[in-house]
């Protein structure tokens, strides 16, 4: 039998502890499946004397993750600290330069620094594996890199932040406003220390940027991502969407268009009967469309100790078997700089606004839309007691830039209170 594959684990939070559990509990199974014994040589974390529910005294301790990454008895550096830069990036670079392979769950680091890290890894002849960085236990990275490698991808989309999906589905099922469910999610520990990473779409945007790079052969371009969070979604939006047969999801969509790479993470309406529309709670779902395979749907737990540790160990097992792949599916030097395309694909939109309750207000809005080449599919005005009337418009397919110009013109009419809200209706 080959020499054992020795891990150095930096970060002993939920996922790190899950990895230790699997290595300890499933030692024989892992050996049988990979042909190599998988062991842990050393670990590192912020706090040493903490009860984590698993014994760590069997392993050497390093206070400095860079020192851990360069130990002679470590073959694979498992980075589970998080953060785009700082110790995670420094230790990852040190590991690669020391001839170690890297397994990471760090989507921020890859979304921001992925190109440079990929170039370093490939120059050193080393691997960076990162299944756990996107959609928890769902094997979406492996699907794109391996199982679907014979396809030209046409669209990748999905719900990739379980906290946002929990908030939106909880609003719908309980009839509660956003602020109430946000606080509930916070009390349950679902939100990041900086909640904007979740509800602002940043966490999910990191994941989409990684998927887009693999699918379309481009350099990771998170800074070109269109981001919009769920903070402006009201319980009325949830109800009105349901009335029309839709559900609201924080949806990431990437496609290559004639004008360039479209990448956006934003609240969208999807058909209630579709797989995405039926997705409940903290579950994730990724939809991949290819020219040969058509559409496939991957669904599963997007976070948590077991699912994410499972993804980490899948990568470790691939390295143990000797599998070697370019970081983003093709050599990093061959990845192109994608031309960003801001929502170039036409779509129907849900448009909500509050109009002053006076004659001619609605006619002015209809005129503004017509002047910008936007036709109305459906329109509803709801009962009201205040001085403003809630109005809902569903447009025919149009380009977002035209709609943005129309909304700006609407505010200049003097009949709209506040800013109109527009949500894309995505065909799935």
What is the set of active-site residues?
Answer: 207
| 226, 341 Cβ separation under 8 angstroms | no
Tokens of 99: 């001839």
Could you give the CA distance from residue 17 to residue 30 in angstroms, rounded to a whole number? Answer: 17
Q: Is the dihedral of CA 310, 315, 321, 323 positive or negative?
A: positive
Tokens of 40: 């842990």
Could you give the CA distance from residue 414 to residue 412 in angstroms, rounded to a whole number? Answer: 5
What is the radius of gyration, based on Cα positions, of the chain? Answer: 24
HSE-CB at 330 with a 13 A cutoff on CA atoms is: 14
Question: In 17-43, which positions are buried (b, 16+ CB within 10 angstroms) versus exposed (e)?
Answer: bbbbbbbeeeeeebbeebebbbbbbbb
Residue the block writes with tokens 């760590």: 56
Question: In 280-311, which positions are buried (b, 16+ CB within 10 angstroms) versus exposed (e)?
Answer: eebbbbbbbbbeeeeeeebbbbbbbbebbbbb
| 166, 282 Cβ separation under 8 angstroms | yes
SS3 label, residue 208: helix
Starting from the edge strand earliest in sequence, which strands make up the sheet with 128-129, in order? 60-61, 38-44, 5-10, 76-79, 101-104, 128-129
């Amino acid at each position: 039998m080959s020499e054992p594959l020795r891990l150095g684990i930096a970060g002993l939070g939920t996922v790190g502890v899950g990895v230790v559990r699997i290595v300890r509990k499933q030692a024989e199974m892992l050996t049988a499946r990979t042909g190599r014994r998988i062991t842990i040589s050393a670990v590192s974390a912020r706090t040493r004397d903490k009860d984590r529910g698993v014994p760590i005294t069997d392993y050497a301790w390093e206070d400095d993750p860079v020192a851990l990454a360069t130990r002679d008895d470590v073959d694979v550096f498992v980075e589970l600290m998080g953060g785009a830069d700082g110790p995670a990036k420094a230790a990852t670079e040190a590991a690669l330069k020391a001839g170690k392979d890297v397994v990471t769950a760090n989507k921020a680091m890859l979304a921001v620094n992925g190109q440079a890290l990929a170039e370093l890894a490939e120059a050193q002849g080393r691997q960076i594996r990162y299944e756990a960085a996107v959609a928890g236990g769902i094997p979406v990275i492996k699907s794109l890199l391996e199982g679907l490698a014979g396809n030209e991808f046409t669209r990748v989309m999905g719900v990739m932040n379980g906290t946002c999906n929990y908030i939106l589905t909880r609003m719908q099922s309980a009839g509660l406003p956003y602020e109430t469910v946000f606080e509930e999610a916070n009390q349950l520990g679902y939100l990041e220390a900086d909640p904007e990473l979740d509800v602002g779409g940043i966490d999910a945007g990191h994941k989409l940027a990684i998927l887009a790079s693999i699918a379309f052969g481009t350099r990771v371009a998170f800074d070109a991502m269109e981001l919009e969070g769920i903070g402006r979604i009201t319980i009325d939006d949830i109800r009105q969407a349901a009335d029309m047969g839709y559900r609201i999801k924080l949806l990431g969509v990437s496609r290559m268009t004639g004008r360039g790479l479209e990448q956006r993470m934003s609240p969208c309406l999807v058909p209630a009967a579709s797989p995405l529309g039926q997705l409940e709670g903290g579950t994730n779902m990724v939809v991949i469309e290819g020219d040969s395979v058509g559409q496939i749907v991957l669904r599963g737990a997007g976070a948590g100790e077991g699912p994410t540790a499972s993804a980490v160990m899948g990568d470790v097992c691939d390295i143990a078997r000797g599998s070697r792949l370019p970081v983003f599916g093709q050599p990093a030097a061959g990845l192109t700089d994608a031309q960003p395309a801001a929502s170039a694909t036409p779509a129907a939109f849900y448009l909500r606004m509050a109009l002053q309750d006076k004659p001619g207000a609605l006619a002015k809005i209809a005129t503004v839309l017509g002047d910008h080449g936007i036709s109305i599919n459906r329109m509803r005005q709801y009962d009201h007691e205040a001085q403003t009337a809630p109005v809902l418009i569903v447009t025919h397919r149009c380009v977002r830039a035209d709609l943005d110009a129309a909304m700006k013109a609407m505010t200049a009419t003097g009949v709209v209170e506040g800013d109109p809200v527009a949500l894309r209706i995505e065909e799935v």
